[in-house]
């Protein structure tokens, strides 16, 4: 593949709902540009994008795939870096990585299915990152697809930005071509996306007039001169129209709507033309970061004539093709066999060859210029989010904004002795996917796997088995309860043991009461008068308390909020020892704790749920069923409400699936641990019964 300069590059992300047709459109575009000689099919498992075994098995995209295409544009050859992203929400991290390096987007909408949740989410992401976009309506060959209805819905949902550049031509209820509204010409498909000119059907004239008038208004709004000409009835030239529309599309004021049938490769050529004509080159944007040497904000245009800087936006770790760091060159030119400086890690690494990845195919290139996207293999230190630069000009760019995973499950290895293999495999998977986290919960002696949703975790289990030949089982996690007391008690702990020779003797009187501080396990004080217990045994008494609070007598959970005071006792000048007083304190603790109205505390999360207005009633009703306390509701001014509530952590298990079900996938949530609160009687009873075998009942 040739080397392309910054002004010849278009970085385009494909977005849309799962199953809308993104991968099929990518295949059609690859066919039109000659990257493949025949289109692959998702059902046959031979597409460029979905090459992973899991994707072939499940027949949907799991990872973002880079597909570089060479296309002969109006003003010469261009390179389109197409980023085909997953549509299912569990894999949103892949979408966020791709969007962080894209300069524009194509939102794919299935005409028969209409506007789906993934369409809204794609639009919101484009708004957030201010990406110019084209909507490509696919599945036009379906008899039940109504383009007119879809256009009306698009305009209703997304406003006057929606501009149909194409209208369909049907003959005998079959999709055979389209009307180009910009050029006011009919097009009849011949082979794939190729077409010949044809008459504009009579039935299209009314809609064509409305669409054309809206476009001309948009053109007129680009300057006062154009506005005057428009009102005086002047016609704009084709060049003036294209130039004005490009400006509007790049600014996000117009979103062109094009149409076709991905499976028949119809319309893919028009998308390529639209990308060439209306989408910006990388040098329209600035790279924003921090100059490490000064700590000041750094901005630069994409420019290949200055020193090198690049940011790694994705890592691929594959047992068969190896490890690749995908990066977007921000400034300068990346050349093979050179040293690069990882600013984040303050380390130099040697790179060998430079590649383009097209699905699983690896294409070697002589260099990559600013604005381009490529890959380097076998970097040992560099990870996703790191910045590559020169040591003399250390710049750090912002890392991709990746969603935080809140769904988690406990996992165990199926085969004894596979723990190290599982740990190593998970390390590789988490390096690839930032929304996946493996956490060791030492308190509850469990290993946890965090992800965006259950489907993602299911894919991880499958990948571990197929890629790395290790098996894990997922189950419901244990939750970190606490124990405390509710009243003050005074008890005696007496430890006496004779075993020939010196015996063991320790005797303490202690009070136990709530400390009022649930953040701290215990507070220890002594008020012993007259040397009843020698001072040198005080630390031993405290040690007894310190060991006891690790596993409480009620349900073997850690103890918090306890104040222990040593008030009195007695000792033996020969038989007393530190060990004896530690044991005496342990006996006092166990007896006193169970007499002091012990209770279980459960962890409470501060939850924020963001949902469209119409779902607020259902969500709040569900939170009440989960023993949640709704604290308030605020509008985010985008037709959504943010519901804030306190909910027990144990009740949030499975919440991701339930929220999606309630809101059709439109609801999102986040939470963080807030505090501990006394658990209700039924919850306490269940926990105490379940953990009875774990409690130390032995009397010393």
Highest CATH level, class, for 482-596: alpha beta
Q: CA torsion 171→173→176→177, rounded to 10°?
A: 90
Q: What pLDDT was estimated at residue 501?
A: 64
Q: Compute the distance between CA of residue 74 and CA of residue 59 in angstroms, rounded to an integer.
A: 36
The fold adopted by the segment(s) 407-475 is Alpha-Beta Plaits (3.30.70)
Q: What pLDDT was estimated at residue 225?
A: 87
Q: What pLDDT was estimated at residue 280?
A: 95
Q: What pLDDT was estimated at residue 520?
A: 92
Count of CB atoms situated within 10 Å of the CB of 69: 22
With b for 16 or more beta-carbon neighbours within 10 A and e for fewer, the 177-190 pattern comes to: bbbbbbeeebbebe
CATH numeric code, 285-397? 2.40.30.10
Where, residue-wise, is CATH 3.30.70.240 in the chain?
A: 601-685
Helices assigned H by DSSP within 433-533:
454-468
Q: Compute the distance between CA of residue 582 and CA of residue 536 in angstroms, rounded to an integer.
A: 12
CATH numeric code, 601-685? 3.30.70.240
Q: Compute the distance between CA of residue 235 and CA of residue 255 in angstroms, rounded to an integer.
A: 23
Give the chain's residues under pLDDT 70.
320, 499-501, 696-700
Q: Could you say which of 2.40.128.50, 3.40.50.300, 1.10.569.10, 3.40.50.360 is the CATH number of the domain covering 6-283?
A: 3.40.50.300
Average confidence score pLDDT of the chain: 91
Where, residue-wise, is CATH 2.40.30.10 in the chain?
A: 285-397
Q: What pLDDT was estimated at residue 700?
A: 38
Q: What pLDDT was estimated at residue 444?
A: 81
Q: Compute the distance between CA of residue 63 and CA of residue 463 in angstroms, rounded to an integer.
A: 13
Give how far the C-alpha of residue 581 lies from the chain's centroid of Cα atoms, to the nearest Å: 54
Tell which residue, 468, 436, 439, 429, has the closest CA to residue 452: 436
Where, residue-wise, is CATH 3.30.230.10 in the chain?
A: 482-596
Tell which residue, 487, 491, 66, 29, has the closest CA to residue 275: 29
Q: Compute the distance between CA of residue 564 and CA of residue 588 in angstroms, rounded to an integer.
A: 10
DSSP string over 552-611: -TTTSPPB-SEEEEEEEEE--TTTB-HHHHHHHHHHHHHHHHHHS-EEEEEEEEEEEEEE
Q: What pLDDT was estimated at residue 699?
A: 47
Q: Compute the distance between CA of residue 653 and CA of residue 264 in angstroms, rounded to an integer.
A: 44
Q: What pLDDT was estimated at residue 335?
A: 93
Question: CB–CB of 351/337 below 8 Å?
Answer: yes
Q: What pLDDT was estimated at residue 415?
A: 87
Where, residue-wise, is CATH 3.30.70.870 in the chain?
A: 407-475
């Amino acid at each position: 593949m040739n080397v392309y300069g910054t002004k010849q590059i278009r970085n385009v992300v494909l977005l849309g709902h799962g199953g809308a047709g993104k991968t099929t459109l990518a295949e059609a575009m690859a066919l039109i540009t000659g990257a493949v000689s025949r289109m692959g099919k998702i059902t046959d498992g031979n597409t460029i994008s979905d090459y992973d075994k899991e994707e072939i098995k499940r027949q949907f995209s799991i990872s973002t795939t880079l597909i570089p295409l060479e296309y002969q544009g109006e003003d010469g050859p261009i390179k389109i870096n197409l980023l085909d992203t997953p549509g299912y929400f569990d894999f949103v991290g892949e979408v966020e990585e791709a969007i962080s390096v894209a300069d524009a987007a194509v939102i794919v909408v299935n005409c028969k299915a209409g506007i789906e949740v993934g369409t809204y989410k794609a639009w919101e992401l484009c708004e957030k990152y201010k990406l110019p976009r084209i909507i490509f309506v696919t599945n036009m060959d379906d008899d039940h697809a109504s383009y007119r209805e879809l256009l009306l819905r698009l305009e209703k949902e997304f406003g006057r930005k929606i501009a149909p550049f194409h209208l369909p031509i049907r003959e005998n209820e079959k999709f055979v071509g389209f009307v180009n509204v910009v050029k006011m010409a009919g097009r009849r498909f011949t082979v794939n996306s190729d077409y010949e000119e044809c008459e504009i059907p009579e039935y299209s004239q009314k809609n064509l007039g409305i669409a054309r008038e809206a476009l001309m208004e948009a053109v007129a709004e680009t300057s006062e001169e154009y506005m005057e000409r428009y009102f005086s009835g002047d016609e704009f030239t084709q060049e003036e129209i294209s130039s004005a529309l490009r400006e509007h599309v790049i600014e996000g004021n117009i979103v062109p709507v094009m149409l076709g049938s991905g499976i028949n490769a119809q319309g893919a050529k028009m998308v390529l033309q639209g990308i060439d004509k209306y989408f910006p080159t990388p040098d329209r944007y600035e790279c924003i970061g921090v100059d490490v040497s000064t700590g000041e904000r750094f901005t630069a245009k994409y420019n290949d004539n200055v020193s090198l800087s690049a940011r790694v936006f994705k890592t691929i770790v594959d047992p068969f093709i190896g490890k690749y760091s995908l990066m977007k060159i921000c400034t300068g030119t990346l050349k093979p066999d050179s040293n690069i400086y990882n600013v984040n890690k303050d380390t130099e690494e040697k790179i060998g060859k430079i590649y383009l990845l097209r699905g699983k195919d690896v294409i070697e290139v002589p260099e990559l210029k600013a604005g381009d996207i490529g890959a380097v293999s076998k970097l040992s230190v560099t990870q996703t989010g790191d910045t590559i630069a020169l040591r003399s000009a250390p710049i750090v760019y912002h890392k991709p904004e990746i969603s935080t995973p809140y769904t988690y499950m406990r996992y165990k290895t199926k085969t004894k002795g596979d723990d190290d293999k599982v740990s190593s495999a998970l390390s590789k998977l988490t390096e690839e996917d930032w929304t996946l986290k493996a956490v060791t919960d030492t308190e509850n002696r469990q290993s946890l796997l965090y992800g965006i949703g259950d489907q993602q975790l299911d894919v991880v289990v499958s990948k571990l088995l197929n890629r790395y030949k290790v098996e894990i089982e997922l189950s419901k996690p244990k939750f970190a309860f606490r124990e405390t007391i509710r009243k003050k008690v005074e008890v005696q702990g007496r430890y006496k043991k004779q075993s020939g020779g010196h015996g063991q003797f320790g005797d303490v009187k202690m009070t136990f009461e709530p400390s009022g501080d649930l953040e701290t396990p215990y507070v220890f004080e002594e008020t012993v008068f007259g040397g009843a217990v020698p001072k040198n045994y005080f630390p031993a008494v405290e040690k007894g308390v310190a060991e006891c609070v690790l596993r409480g007598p009620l349900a073997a959970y850690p103890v918090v909020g306890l104040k222990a005071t040593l008030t009195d006792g007695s000792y033996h000048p020969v038989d007393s020892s530190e060990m004896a007083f530690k044991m005496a304190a342990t006996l006092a603790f166990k007896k006193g704790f169970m007499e002091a109205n012990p209770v279980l505390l459960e962890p409470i999360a501060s939850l924020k749920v963001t949902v469209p207005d119409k779902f607020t009633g259902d969500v709040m009703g569900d939170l009440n069923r989960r023993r949640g306390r709704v604290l308030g509701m605020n509008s985010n001014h985008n037709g959504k409400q943010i519901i804030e509530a306190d909910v027990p952590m144990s009740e949030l298990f499975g919440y991701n699936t339930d929220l999606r079900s309630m809101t059709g996938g439109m609801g999102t949530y986040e939470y963080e641990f807030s505090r501990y609160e006394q658990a209700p009687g039924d919850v306490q009873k269940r926990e105490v019964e379940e953990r009875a075998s774990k409690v130390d009942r032995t009397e010393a």
